Structure 1
Amino acid sequence: MCIRLFTAVLFSLLIIQAFASSNLMAKTETDTYYIKSFERLVEEQRYDIAAQLLEKNKKQLVKSAAGINDKSALLLKQYMEDNITILQSDTKTPTEKTIATKQTIILWDAIVYENAPLWMTWKQELESKMDSFWPRKKSIQVT
């Protein structure tokens, strides 16, 4: 009897965990779609639409980030607001708008994918390319 009860409780916990994980994954996939769409619009220099998209989905993106890290979510919110202002500005260059966008995307990515953030992937790719051009000197050991 005790084993059946234990098995039922364990099974219930596994089901609850599975649904909670799938809900988080769905939110992350939706957020990723918004971020990629936002990035694409900026690359196409459709700044007004990009700013509208970010403004419309800012609360959702910040809420998702807050579920992971509250302090980082506040920083992300500030970056998004600054990014929207920059995108709507007539005095900012396309390069400045792109840089602000990349900063926001990298910050969001670092919060959501803390185990493999985008900037680490870029760093590893860059180091790999640099090593192919300029092999690192092997250290010489004196004995």
Structure 2
Amino acid sequence: MRLVPASTVGLVLVLSSPSLAQTQPLKGAEAALAALDMEQKGMVARADVGALDALSAPGLTINAPTGRVLTRAQFLAMMRDGRIGAEDFERTIESVTVDGDVGVVMGREVFTPTPQSELGRTYGAVPLDRRYTNVYRREGGRWRWFARHANVVAKRAAEAR
């Protein structure tokens, strides 16, 4: 595991506007995975279902902040019909670990759901602090999004009600 401050991140990461709470520069596979994780965030923010479909492994499983476990098909359907939607979405990567063909990215997010989304109907269209973990697996020479866990941090959620 390597940790990196935003000021020392390579150009590709700076251009994708991630915020990295790290202490040493990311290099090689870790830097590539951090950049991909920020691309994944952008896909969700834009509701780019085609790109998410291409990035997702067939067995993608998500422990969603709504308190449910979603399959890949359920997640993509919810993105398509607006049950998952963002008005604003920020992500701060705090940890990137690559071990062979498995990569794990962890950090925090501020996610403002659309009013019609599941999270929007539950909390309102207010910024929600979340913790997240994305797991990627290298398949056929490229990273595929394999698993995710995200939860709303209780303090901000309680204030939203």
TM range (shorter): 0.3 to 0.5
Which structure has the larger Rg?
A: 1
Normalising to structure 2: TM-score of the pair? 0.32
More helix by share: 1
Normalising to structure 1: TM-score of the pair? 0.35
More strand by share: 2
